[in-house]
Structure 1
């Protein structure tokens, strides 16, 4: 952890609960001392001594120097290489592309090494990184550009073609051959003549804007989750605090020359990939081995080749690793932690992971884009013993309470209600959407739309959702967004979109449509695919010429329809 290696940490009994150890680290006079501070009228727990902006946090990464940071195919970049290029790119954005403080800059590409370089460059230039889902269609990109107001975009070659139709857009293309056009520049060209380790002279502070990350929710169009520098830096410092507590408890390798290695199969444009995977790794000196796309045997090959110690992905991925007969072909003995996030993991999968990898600790995290990924974490024996829990709210910055959705009243332990989270790591607001912000944030508490409860020991359990969203392999999909596309087809009179259970991906998209003329399921799927990313296309569409059933209020009988068609789905799979 370089910048934190020389801290004088107190000795503790290995059996001490981790939250008590974190309490020691955050006492007055300690490096991670916390205090209470009012921010925008809300009192939050904050670190007293954290860096004022992400630019200073990026410089902490230099403490890992010439250690390898990113491995992609045959390429290897050190921490020093990465920061050098990020600083040069930041200069280019300011000097050559006119980026000023607060300007939004779109970022859309695969997990290439250029992704974090671009992200850091955008933020150090004073820009606001507009993180876009790389699987978005041209239509979805156009909506995001219009909403964010971005005039510069950093993409790979494949995505560049989807940005070409945007008026007045300057496009910087990483890695691939850039399309020939006056408004297109190769990223490598932008670095020419720039000085490494020299950041633009932009005044950046805790409350300045850092990024917009679009998240699908129950309202149809994606919402731009807007984070400040303080929120993201606080998140990183909270994870360092967790890591130091584990070090004090003797749960990390004590060898000062040991470098943990993480296999990366989740996209950086998801909050899990961006913060717990990418930038927590950069902060603590963990090497990242990046996959082009998920493939279980390729994952095994890389674990063996690179000595991977940690893997975090959507639960589907760890299930495939645990269930694969290919495990025996490879030496996977270096793997000590198998995490998950983005979706629920069935309890049977936890047992299977522990059985298949007896020397590795399974783990799970619960958080949302709006909480910058952090709410609760659970791992090792604690998780094996409580496989349906997501862990205790993460100290010292996270506060959770369960409320009655109808009255807002806080509920006692064991009683399910809406999970509400207050933390300095939360986003500030939804970009250009004050109505959604007012609905989701009340008196500083973020209302998650998830239903859960806290048990007598303080462990959090998520049991349901209030929101009409589908989580397919970690991707959030708005039911209303898919319904909107199907509704627009002239053959469709009415439609309902809902989740279908799936053992591998957790949930799939299902739909039932009432039509006014004959049309095939394939034609309707093709219509959705024209407008939305492929992962949003329904797996199954049932077609009826009858009106959809309604309840007494005249609204569609959503509960009855879900039960009926999920039953048909289960029967077909039996």
Structure 2
């Protein structure tokens, strides 16, 4: 039996993962009949005494984490007047409070804004103004970055694990929780199609856009991974994750990404898996945690999983408990795929294609299928449809290249307050991904390039237009063209070619960009010239020629 046939059986009438037709954002799509209606229901259904969150020496059961989330929810309602539909930001590293505040926000019908923890002051100011956040839960570094604007904007701050003396108007969440008596989650009427999250993603031009997703879309993504796993077990006859100890996943990626939020954290409630948060990725510490906690799952971009494979080879670490290693976000070299399968004992490599706009799902491929098709991104999830179209919008047959479109039950509602971007991005229910791709006769997707001006650096989407705009703030930069430069470890790095009217020192230019861009958006390769950049017939910058002249 092939995977597509098994998936059809798993999602058939009467099955646990039965699919039904529902209305969502004005379109008919597929959703899971037996799914929790909201994220709040998902959290409540997972309350148990099993270990849930591990962070360094701290451990919280599912019940303990839920009780703390309920207290945070009561604090938001009673002390900050947070109501259904209000935006509340989560801006911190991977602390346990990230999960607890997120679950509190979404349980009371507010919209959780997952803030990129690498954003600098200007980016934070833009994001908070754009979404209209009333409240932000922030660690010390984010509090420091918000200080220049939060009073003027009216944004309230609550501190997470502060390391400096706090102003009188910024309370410590730990103190608020200690004084809160109710551990009962406030009851708010929430519908499946209500907005639940805003995650900012870099587009091809201008500022990051807020991707708005509903409770149903997120839960459809989570249950699609479950359905895929059941289908794969039906095909192979083996349950890869049937082990004699609690299933554990290591979260080595930021929780503000859909990969960290959805596939790592939110996927743990129904599977009752131990979820180990790392402040940030450190390969030696990660390998140590895998051994100590008997970690079975590690899902991260190729640059991170590549670190782990290399470290395991060099250090002799025993990573034999790992059963699945992989994840999407960027292409994984075929050699790394083979090494995951060969070097890490019982480990099955996996990957997939997905976007913030699809709530991380899209296509996936695991194990032998992946080894045989190392350049493929896999087969489509049960709640989604994919298609490839040409410039005229005509849907193309197998193996013909064009732009990848996607539609279905895990799709975002649209971009926050960006009607022009929504009009540009959708044709009916079909979303234009900006990826160049083809689909083979068996339904396997192959991404071959990008149509939009995006650079994917270590799993981080970086809009070329955003970086160019920051460069053009400099008085001596007349034109700027930003592009991808191949990189063995990160997949891609940023290059920039600049038309300048004065001699600029590269170090000074990087200092100029520091307060304007997160560090990963600052170009690694900078080329400056005293002549205008080449143009195409329409008058636009000739990006292909600029890249070639830059040595790419």
After TM superposition, the score normalised by the length of structure 1 is 0.92
Of 445-454 and 283-292, the range deviating more from structure 2:
283-292
Which position in structure 2 is the counterpart of 1:287? 274
* 2:87 paired residue among 104, 107, 119: 104
* Residue-by-residue CA offset, 1:370-409 (whole Å, 9 max, x unaligned): 00000001110100000000001012x11111111x2111
* 2:150 paired residue among 166, 173, 180: 166
Structure-to-structure mapping, 1:156-305, within 5 angstroms: 156-164=139-147, 165-167=149-151, 168-177=154-163, 179-194=165-180, 198-248=184-234, 249-254=237-242, 258-305=245-292
Of 163-172 and 374-383, the range deviating more from structure 2:
163-172
Equivalent pair of 1:157/1:179 in contact (CA under 8 Å): no
Structure-to-structure mapping, 1:50-61, within 5 angstroms: 50-61=35-46
* Residue-by-residue CA offset, 1:422-471 (whole Å, 9 max, x unaligned): 11111001000011011112211111010101001110000010110111
Equivalent pair of 2:53/2:274 in contact (CA under 8 Å): yes
Q: How many angstroms does 1:250 deviate by?
A: 2.3
Distance in 2, matches of 1:38 and 1:555, equals 41
Distance in 1, matches of 2:528 and 2:77, equals 54
Give RMSD over aligned pairs.
Answer: 1.6
Q: What SS class does the counterpart of residue 514 from structure 2 fall into? A: helix
Structure-to-structure mapping, 1:446-461, within 5 angstroms: 446-461=431-446
* Residue 235 to residue 197, structure 1, CA distance change in 2 (3 Å): farther
1:369 to 2:356 alignment: yes
Distance in 1, matches of 2:31 and 2:280, equals 37
Equivalent pair of 2:472/2:479 in contact (CA under 8 Å): yes
1:134 to 2:117 alignment: yes
1:478 to 2:463 alignment: yes
**May I ask how many residue pairs the two structures share in their alignment?**
547
* 1:320 paired residue among 285, 307, 312: 307
Which position in structure 1 is the counterpart of 2:414? 429
Equivalent pair of 1:178/1:186 in contact (CA under 8 Å): no
* Residue-by-residue CA offset, 1:84-126 (whole Å, 9 max, x unaligned): 1111111111111110110001111000111010000111122
Q: How many angstroms does 1:531 deviate by?
A: 0.5
Q: How many angstroms does 1:277 deviate by?
A: 0.8
Equivalent pair of 1:53/1:204 in contact (CA under 8 Å): yes
* 2:527 paired residue among 529, 542, 546: 542
Equivalent pair of 1:225/1:427 in contact (CA under 8 Å): yes
Q: Which runs of 5+ in 2 are unaligned?
A: none
* Residue-by-residue CA offset, 1:329-354 (whole Å, 9 max, x unaligned): 32211112111211111222212322
Distance in 2, matches of 1:17 and 1:91, equals 49
Distance in 2, matches of 1:304 and 1:29, equals 40
* Residue 25 to residue 340, structure 1, CA distance change in 2 (3 Å): closer
Q: How many angstroms does 1:489 deviate by?
A: 0.8
After TM superposition, the score normalised by the length of structure 2 is 0.96
Q: What SS class does the counterpart of residue 383 from structure 1 fall into? A: helix
Q: How many angstroms does 1:40 deviate by?
A: 3.3
Q: How many angstroms does 1:253 deviate by?
A: 4.1
Q: Which runs of 5+ in 1 are unaligned?
A: 1-15, 568-574
Which position in structure 2 is the counterpart of 1:115? 98
Equivalent pair of 2:500/2:528 in contact (CA under 8 Å): yes
Equivalent pair of 2:121/2:515 in contact (CA under 8 Å): no
Distance in 2, matches of 1:508 and 1:468, equals 13
* 2:483 paired residue among 495, 498, 504: 498
Q: How many angstroms does 1:193 deviate by?
A: 4.5
1:357 to 2:344 alignment: yes
1:73 to 2:73 alignment: no
Q: What SS class does the counterpart of residue 530 from structure 1 fall into? A: coil
* 1:487 paired residue among 453, 461, 472: 472
Structure-to-structure mapping, 1:137-152, within 5 angstroms: 137-152=120-135
* Residue 325 to residue 276, structure 1, CA distance change in 2 (3 Å): closer
Of 533-542 and 548-557, the range deviating more from structure 2:
548-557
Structure-to-structure mapping, 1:75-94, within 5 angstroms: 75-94=58-77
1:513 to 2:498 alignment: yes
Equivalent pair of 1:208/1:229 in contact (CA under 8 Å): yes
